Structure 1
Amino acid sequence: MSGRLVPVLQTGAFIVLALVLCSLIFLSVGLSATGTLSAIIDGAFFRPNALNHILRWGLPLLITAVGVIISFRAGYFNIGAQGQFYLGAICAAFAAEWLRGSPALVAVPICLLAGMAGGALWALWPALLRVKAGADEVITTMMGNFIAAQFLVHVTSGPLKDPAGSGQQASSRPIDAAWRISESTGSSPIIIAIAALVVVFGWWLVNRTSFGILSGLAGRNPVMVTWQGAKVQRIAISAFLLSGALAGLAGSVELMGPNGRLASGFLPDHGFTAILIALVAGMSVIAATLVALFFGALTSSGLWLPIMTGLPSAAIDIIHASIALFITAKAGALRGLLSWFRR
C-alpha cells in the first residue's frame, strides 16, 4: 500500500471513530444518533446555497491553518492563532478608520496588509521569548489569546466604538460598503483568490524552498540542523512571523468580507479550529484545503441546526472535540491495525 495513502486512511478512520463516539453521546442524552448526524450532514452539504456557506466559513479557516502548519512543521507550537487573528482584524479596522474616504483599490490592500502586520507582530514577542529566554511558546501564545481578546473588547468599546451602535454588543463602525470583499452571507471570488494564493504559497514554501526543508528538519531534530550550519533561531522567528501574518490576514479578510465590522468576541473558536485542521491534515497544506472545507461545512451546519431542526449547535462542538481527541491521541490500537494491513 502506498505510504501516502496510509495517513489518509488513518485520518478517515479517526473521523469515523469520532462520529461513533458522538453517536453514543447523542444517544445518552436522549437524541436520535442517526437523526442528529443526518441533520448535521443535510445542514452541511445539502442546504440551499450550501457551497457558498462552506466557502464562507472554510476559507478563513484555511488561511489560518496554513500558517499553523508552517509553525508546527518547524517544531514550534504556536497556539496563539486566535489572538493573532484578532490582532489582524483590529489593525485592519484601525487602518480602515484612517483611510475612510479613500478609493477601494487603495484602502482594501492596505487594510489586508495591516492585518498581516498585526498578526505577525502579535506572534513576534512569543517567538523572541522562545529563542532568547527559552520560554514555552505554548504558554506564551495561549496567554496572548486572552490578552488579544481583552484588547478587542477595549477597542470596540473605546477607540473604535460605533457611536450609533445599539449597545447590545460592542462593535466598530461598519466598513465602507465599497470596500467589502464579500457579502455577509458568503464568500466571493476575491476571498477565493486570496485563499488559493495562500495555499500555493504555503505548499511552495514548505516543499520547494530551503526554508521549508530546513524548518521541517528543525522540527524533527534541531540539533542536527544546527550542526549543518543552519540558524535555528532565524527559522523559529520566521515560522512565527509567517504563522501570525496568515492568521492576521484571515482576521482582516473576515473584517473586510463577511463581518463588515469589528465586534467583541467574534468567532471565538476560529484559531483553535484552525489548529485542529492542521492536525487532522497531518501538516499537509493540500490536505488542509479539504479538511478546512469539511470543517467549514460543519460550522455552517451548526448555524443551520437550531433553526431547522431544533438541535443545539453544541452538537457541532462535540464533533470537533471528538475529532481532536482521536487525532491527538493517535489511537494506538487502530494505528497498529493499519500498520498490519499495510504489511
Structure 2
Amino acid sequence: MSATLTILLRTAIFILVALALCGLIFQAAGYSALDMFASILDGAFLRKGGLSQCLRWALPLFITATGIVLSFRCGFFNIGAQGQFYMGAIAATAMASWLNGMPAAVLVPVSILSGMAGGALWALWPGILRFRWGTDEVITTLMGNFIAGLILVYVTTGPLKDPSGSGQQSSSKPLAAAYRISNSMGLSPTIIAISLVVGIGMWLLINRTAFGVLGGLAGRNPEMLRWQGAKMWKFGLASFMVSGALAGLAGAIEVFGPNGRLVGGFLPTHGFTAVLIALVANLSITGTAVAALFFGGLASAALYLPIMAGLPSAAIDIINAAIALFITAKSRMIDRMFSARGKTP
C-alpha cells in the first residue's frame, strides 16, 4: 500500500473514532446521534449548494494548513497561523485603502501580495527569537495570535474604521464590487485557482525539491542536516515565512472574497482549525486537502445542527476537540496494526 493511501486510512480511522465518541456523548446527553450524523452529511454535502458551501470554508483552511505542514515538517511548531491570518488581512486592507481608485488588475494582486507579506513578517519575528535567543516558538507564535487580534480591533476602530458603520461591529469600509474576487458565498474560479496553485506548489516544494527533502530531514534529525552542511536557521526562517505568507494569503482572500471588508474578530478559530487539519493529515499535502474538505463540511453543517438535531452549533467545536484529542494521542494500537501488515509509510 502506498504511503499516501496509508496516511488517508489512518486519518479516516481517527476521525471515525472521534465521531463515534461524540455520538455516544451526545446520545447520553439526550440528543440523537443519528440526527447529528444526518445533519452533518446533509448540511455539508447532500443539500443543494452544500458542496459549494463546504468548499467556501475548506479552501482558505487548506491554504493556511499547507503552510503549517511545511513548518511542522521542518520541526518548528508555528501555532501562530491565526495571528498571521489576521495580519495578512490587515495588510491587504491597508494596501487596498491606499491604492483605492486604481484599476482592479493592479489593486487586487498588489493587495493580496501585501497580505502575504504581512503574514510572513508576523511569522518572522518568532523565528528570529527562536534562532537568536532560543525562545520557544510555540509560546511566541501563540502570544502573537493575541497581539494580532488586538491590532485587528485597533485598526477596525481607528485607522481603517468605516465612518458610516453602525457601531455594532467594528469594520473597515466595504470594498468596491470591482475589487471583489468572489461574492458573499465565498467561492469563485479565482479562489479555486489560487488554492490549486498553492496546493500543487506546496506539494512540489515538499516532495520534489532539495529544500523539501532537507526540511523534512531537519524535522526528523537536525544533526543529520548539519552533517549535510546546511544551515538550520535558514530552513527555520524560510519555513516560518512561507507558513505565515500562506496564512496571510488566506486572510487576504477573506477580505477580497466573502467578507468584502475587514471585520474585527472575524473567523477566530481559523488558524487553530488549520493546525488541526495539518495534524489530522499527518503533515501530508494530499491528506491536508482531504482533511480540509472534511472540516469545511463541518463548518458548513454548523448552521444545520440546531435545526435538524437540536444541537447547538458549538457541537462542532466539541467534534473538533475530540478529533484533536485522538490525533495528538497518536494511537499505538493503530500504528501497530499498520506496521504488522507492512503498511507503515
TM over 0.5: yes
- Where on the TM-score scale, by shorter chain, does this alignment land: which range? over 0.9
- Check whether the contact 1:89–1:252 (CA below 8 A) recurs between aligned residues: yes
Alignment deviations for residues 152-171 of structure 1 (CA, whole Å, 9 cap, x no partner): 00110111111111111111
CA distance in 1, matches of 2:115, 2:53: 23
Which residue is 1:140 aligned to? 140
CA distance in 1, matches of 2:64, 2:187: 16
TM-score by structure 1 length? 0.97
CA distance in 1, matches of 2:196, 2:318: 30
Alignment deviations for residues 8-48 of structure 1 (CA, whole Å, 9 cap, x no partner): 22221111110111011101221011111111111111122
Q: Secondary structure at the match of 1:195?
A: helix
Q: Report % sequence identity.
A: 60
CA distance in 1, matches of 2:153, 2:4: 45
Which residue is 2:208 aligned to? 208
- Check whether the contact 2:161–2:170 (CA below 8 A) recurs between aligned residues: yes
CA distance in 2, matches of 1:70, 1:4: 17
Residue 268, structure 1, aligned to residue 268, structure 2: yes
Which residue is 1:87 aligned to? 87
CA distance in 1, matches of 2:258, 2:118: 20
The residue correspondences of 1:100-111 to structure 2 (distance < 5 A) are 100-111=100-111
- Check whether the contact 1:6–1:342 (CA below 8 A) recurs between aligned residues: no
Aligned length: 343
- Check whether the contact 2:35–2:309 (CA below 8 A) recurs between aligned residues: no
- Check whether the contact 1:75–1:219 (CA below 8 A) recurs between aligned residues: yes
Alignment deviations for residues 84-110 of structure 1 (CA, whole Å, 9 cap, x no partner): 000000000101111111111010001
Which residue is 2:295 aligned to? 295
The residue correspondences of 1:184-199 to structure 2 (distance < 5 A) are 184-199=184-199
- Check whether the contact 2:35–2:308 (CA below 8 A) recurs between aligned residues: no
Which residue is 2:339 aligned to? 339
CA distance in 1, matches of 2:280, 2:9: 12
In structure 2, the CA distance between the partners of 1:210 and 1:163, relative to structure 1 (3 Å rule), is: same
Alignment deviations for residues 159-215 of structure 1 (CA, whole Å, 9 cap, x no partner): 111111111111111011110000111300000000000011101111111111111
Report how far residue 297 of structure 1 moved.
Answer: 0.9
CA distance in 2, matches of 1:5, 1:60: 24
Which residue is 1:222 aligned to? 222
Which residue is 2:248 aligned to? 248
The residue correspondences of 1:53-92 to structure 2 (distance < 5 A) are 53-92=53-92
Aligned-partner residue type, residue 69 of structure 1: V
CA distance in 2, matches of 1:288, 1:38: 24
Bigger shift: 139-148 or 319-328? 319-328
The residue correspondences of 1:298-317 to structure 2 (distance < 5 A) are 298-307=298-307, 310-317=310-317
In structure 2, the CA distance between the partners of 1:258 and 1:308, relative to structure 1 (3 Å rule), is: farther
The residue correspondences of 1:10-159 to structure 2 (distance < 5 A) are 10-159=10-159
Alignment root-mean-square deviation, CA = 1.3
Ranges of 4+ aligned residues in structure 1 off by more than 6 Å: none
Report how far residue 341 of structure 1 moved.
Answer: 4.4
Which residue is 2:278 aligned to? 278
Bigger shift: 275-284 or 190-199? 275-284
Aligned-partner residue type, residue 178 of structure 1: A
Alignment deviations for residues 122-154 of structure 1 (CA, whole Å, 9 cap, x no partner): 000000001111110000000000000011001
Alignment deviations for residues 291-321 of structure 1 (CA, whole Å, 9 cap, x no partner): 1111111101112333555431112111111
CA distance in 2, matches of 1:306, 1:19: 18
Q: Secondary structure at the match of 2:302?
A: helix
Alignment deviations for residues 51-72 of structure 1 (CA, whole Å, 9 cap, x no partner): 2111111100011011101101
Report how far residue 2 of structure 1 moved.
Answer: 4.5
In structure 2, the CA distance between the partners of 1:297 and 1:92, relative to structure 1 (3 Å rule), is: same
CA distance in 2, matches of 1:280, 1:225: 26
TM-score by structure 2 length? 0.96
Report how far residue 329 of structure 1 moved.
Answer: 0.4
CA distance in 2, matches of 1:92, 1:162: 16
Aligned-partner residue type, residue 279 of structure 2: L
List runs of 5+ in structure 1 lacking aligned partners: none
Alignment deviations for residues 264-291 of structure 1 (CA, whole Å, 9 cap, x no partner): 1100010011111111111111221121
- Check whether the contact 1:100–1:176 (CA below 8 A) recurs between aligned residues: no
- Check whether the contact 1:155–1:161 (CA below 8 A) recurs between aligned residues: yes
Q: Secondary structure at the match of 1:42?
A: helix
CA distance in 2, matches of 1:309, 1:38: 8
- Check whether the contact 1:123–1:244 (CA below 8 A) recurs between aligned residues: yes
CA distance in 2, matches of 1:304, 1:172: 30
CA distance in 1, matches of 2:319, 2:327: 12
CA distance in 1, matches of 2:46, 2:71: 35
Q: Secondary structure at the match of 1:326?
A: helix
